[in-house]
Amino acid sequence: MKVAAIQMVSGISLDNNLSEALRLLRLAANAGAELAVLPEYFCFMGARDEDKLLLAETPGLGKVQDFLSDCARDLKMWIVGGTLPMATDDPAHAANASLAYNPRGECASRYDKIHLFRYDNGRERYDEAAVLRAGETPTVFECRDAGGQTWRVGQSVCYDLRFGELYRMLAADVLLVPSAFTHTTGQAHWEVLLRARAIENQAFVIASAQGGVHENGRRTWGHTMVIDPWGGVMALQAEGPGVVTAELDFEQLRSVREQLPSLQHRRL
């Protein structure tokens, strides 16, 4: 299955972000991708965290959801919409939701980010829980490729990457990690965590990132990549907007799991 990991440097204009996402999704489709993954906050990186609340959508209704549905149907591929803010019953908090659309334009899966990022080194301070509500449910969906192979796809978002127990629960063939890692934490931990999740779960990892300096002054690490079940980096883009593609081979997945059956050897 050919996949595309999309990197963006999203700004404060929803329309501009969607226009850029469409350009990159078309590049992915033209490259033959059957599954394309956008980064966290692909549609909006506001001036303030509270700005997310102004764009929060209800399920099945909203400009961003319509955009994702239309793109999946028109481009005839699976699209995972990084994340977008979704309304909750608390107007002061939104869910950071990752939605997967099938080639018919139907929303096939929704995952709400479970682990909310908090970081303070005296110079940079982030606290997602101030405006976001944590999800509770590990989420997978099934994706059938052009050759008829069914893949079990596990969803996660950014800070989830630090919690290996989530990925064990997903028990997936492909792990998705749309992200907006800060430059500071990404430089230190991004690649080593991604490769560890691939190795310990013997799964492909598609990690689509924000990568650059944003209008709101935030700097994200980027380094969008696709990783194979042995931990090898198959494709990489360090900074700036772009698309990286890779061919996922189910036989490689099967071979790694047969030659080193660590998943069968678990005792805890």
Domain ranges of the chain: 2-259
Q: Where are the beta strands (DSSP E) in the chain?
A: 2-7, 35-37, 78-80, 84-87, 94-101, 107-112, 118-120, 125-127, 132-133, 139-144, 150-155, 174-176, 204-207, 224-227, 233-237, 242-247
Task: Supply the pTM of this predicted model.
Answer: 0.98
- 143 a catalytic residue: no
- 63 a catalytic residue: no
Q: 219 with 213: CB under 8 angstroms?
A: yes
- Out of 40, 52, 71, 128, pick the active-site residue: 40
Chain center to CA of 110: 12
- Out of 57, 113, 128, 143, pick the active-site residue: 113
CA atoms of 31 and 223, how far apart (whole Å):
20
* CATH number corresponding to 2-259: 3.60.110.10
User: What's the length of the chain?
Assistant: 268
- 113 a catalytic residue: yes
> How would you write the pLDDT of the chain (268 residues) with one tens digit per residue?
999 999 999 999 999 999 999 999 999 999 999 999 999 999 999 999 999 999 999 999 999 999 999 999 999 999 999 999 999 999 999 999 999 999 999 999 999 999 999 999 999 999 999 999 999 999 999 999 999 999 999 999 999 999 999 999 999 999 999 999 999 999 999 999 999 999 999 999 999 999 999 999 999 999 999 999 999 999 999 999 999 999 999 999 999 999 999 999 999 8
Token reading at 52: 């997310």
